[in-house]
Amino acid sequence: MSKIKYNHLLIGSLFFNAILLLLIFGAILFKDSDNKKQNITYYDSKLPLEDKHDKSYLKNNKKNNTKNIKSETTADKKEDKKIEDNIILTPENLEAFVNNSTVDYFNQLSKMFPNAKTLDEHYSKIYEYLLSRYGKDEADTLFAVYKKFLKCEMDLKHERMKWGLPKNKEEWMQYIQKINNYRTDSLGKQISEKLFGNEYRNMIFKMKKEDIINDDTLYGHQKEQWLEDIAMDTWGDNYEDKMYSEFRTSYDMYKEKMKLYEKDFSEMDEEEKKEKIKEFRKQLLSDKLIKNLEEADEMTVKGYETINSYKSAETNILSDNKLTAKQKDQKIKELQDNTFGENADAFRRAEAIQKASKEAAKKLYNDQ
């Protein structure tokens, strides 16, 4: 019983303190969160094929064409087969014209020509469109792979409805593996790898990475070694390019670094912790962002000092038996105005939230 009460009061108190700091001192916005390299290797995902393709036509074609396409007739299939038979996919063309960013382009193509009445008509228009944009070898390769891609994804959508949703992380891993196996069987290993290989490995790596980051029994350097080993197993020699590609900014890398070293921080005294954080910031962030963070740290310290000073003075007022309840309320209001200035009303609202939280926790405890 008492544990339930304590947990709810603790949550209310933490929520209250967070609101106070935000309301009183505001938030420092890291708009300039250092997208450029600053003493680190920062990796951007490259989308050469997506950049190369002209998507201007797609802007006004947002409806999903595949929903409106009717089943093709036997005659349609026969004609469709002729088009496909005339296109020979070669390893060289696949290497030159298809990569993991092609999926995004194919998804855009699938939304084109919403007025097509059959799948064959859709394919014919797509083929004509590709021929108007690229050389014949590239257009033929893209078209042949696109047909395989669209059929695979439409069939996979129906299959996934039969599988049901995973209920835990282990089932999610199996689910992702099942999708990858289905695509490999449907498209063949080479095309599946070209289109979805990177996506598959990224998903697997992220799920394994999450387990390591959240393991509170490991120290930072142990987590980093585990992550590097998993990344190397996943991507091979080019693992560094891949394992850091998800980071949008160097500040994202810094936040993860702090998460990795939580156990280390918990065993350090304040000075050691400050020095370690300073080391990480210098290693990962720009001078401007470091300055912003230092200002935020300073404001946080001042915020806690101000709140602690206020609470001490408030306690003295409340314990003064010479004052009536009305006089106490008046003095506390004056104290709030003097302490928080223009933020006094915001502080009073935060206090009201804390009071309501405590009362709710107390009621829950009594009801049980």
pLDDT tens-digit profile of 137-166?
Answer: 999 999 999 999 999 999 999 999 999 899
Residue 45: pLDDT above 50? no
pTM above 0.75, yes or no: no
For CA atoms 296, 297, 302, 308, give the dihedral sign.
positive
Indicate the burial class of 223 (C-beta count within 10 angstroms; 0-12, 13-18, 19 or more).
buried
Residue 181: pLDDT above 60? yes
Highest mean pLDDT among 15-19, 268-272, 349-353: 268-272
- The Cα-based distances of 193 to 90, 97, 137 in angstroms read 15, 14, 21
Six token digits for residue 360: 């709710």
Arithmetic mean of pLDDT, 275-294: 92
Please give the mean pLDDT across all residues of the chain: 79
C-alpha dihedral, 288 to 293 to 298 to 300, nearest 10°:
150
CB count, 10 Å around CB of 273?
15
Whether residue 113 contacts residue 61, with contact meaning beta carbons closer than 8 Å, is answered with yes
Looking at residue 15, its pLDDT comes to: 45
Which H or E element spans position 159? Answer: helix 136-163
SS3 85: helix
Looking at residue 296, its pLDDT comes to: 87
Tell me the pLDDT band of 86, cut-offs 50, 70 and 90. Answer: low
Looking at residue 88, its pLDDT comes to: 77
Q: How far apart are the C-alpha atoms of 206 and 210, rounded to whole Å?
A: 6
Lowest mean pLDDT among 79-83, 258-262, 284-288: 79-83
Looking at residue 316, its pLDDT comes to: 93
Q: How far apart are the C-alpha atoms of 12 and 3, rounded to whole Å?
A: 14
